[in-house]
Structure 1
Amino acid sequence: MKARVESDAQGRRQVYEACLEPCAIEQGMRIIGGKWTGSILWHLQDGPVRFNDLARMVGGASKKMITERLRQLETQGLVRREVMATAPVSVQYEITEIGRSALGFLDELRKWSEELPQDIHAASRP
């Protein structure tokens, strides 16, 4: 945090606590805030999941979008990808310890969302 001092129209000084760019919230949202990211991590919490099974679990997301998110999560170290030597070849994904560390606040987010009035959910739909 960085303190910033400004004067208002009457010459009164105001002190503001400003986040340095990017602040920790923004950094976290850049990692976990992508569409479907939280859902993907949530569905990987019980163990490795094959891609097609994960695609079915994350209803509403295209396979292309899931692939993009999984690549991001793998690059960031939140998910591990394993190519299985089966016929046909299949791929499974597993959450890493870093990814697992997000599950606590994702569960809190889930609880918070479940407690919201339905009109808030309705207003947030595209």
Structure 2
Amino acid sequence: MRARVEDDTKGRRQVYEACTEPCAIERGMRIIGGKWTGSILWHLKDGPVRFNDLSRMVGGASKKMIAERLRQLEAQGLVRREVMDTAPISVHYEITKRGRTALGFLDALREWSESLPQHNSDA
């Protein structure tokens, strides 16, 4: 259902027929909008990556945070975790076919971000 916004008799904005469930943007942001989530997916785009290598690629995020985000992405079917039978044991993460569907808009976001001025103004 689409929300309708109108001015009432006193000039106040009123919302009618508001969505009772999250809209598509909100649903998408709940999946991909977590801090470091997009960055993790982006760094997995070229193939499987070991956990320690991924944690170095995603600068600024703690290993605990990366592990948490990877668990969430795995639960959503966007990332696959594979434990390698090596000594010592190695864990690789790989983006899934479903996860690859996010790469198009992540690339568009990257391009948009690169086109912005490098300062924090609201111009």
State the TM bucket, normalised to the shorter chain: 0.7 to 0.9
Any runs of at least 4 consecutive aligned residues in structure 1 with deviations exceeding 3 A, and if so which?
3-7, 14-20
- Count of residues in Structure 1 that have an aligned counterpart in Structure 2: 122
Which TM-score applies when normalising by structure 2?
Answer: 0.87
1:47 and 2:16 correspond: no
- Which structure shows the bigger proportion of residues in helix conformation? 1
CA distance in 1: counterparts of 2:106 and 2:29, whole angstroms:
12
Structure 1 unaligned runs (5+)? Answer: none
1:118: Cα distance to partner?
1.6
Q: What RMSD, in angstroms, separates the aligned Cα atoms of the two structures?
A: 2.5
1:117: Cα distance to partner?
1.3
1:34 is matched with: 34
1:75 is matched with: 75
1:60 is matched with: 60
1:9: Cα distance to partner?
2.6
Identical pairs, percent:
81
Structure 2 unaligned runs (5+)? Answer: none
1:51: Cα distance to partner?
0.3
Which TM-score applies when normalising by structure 1?
Answer: 0.85
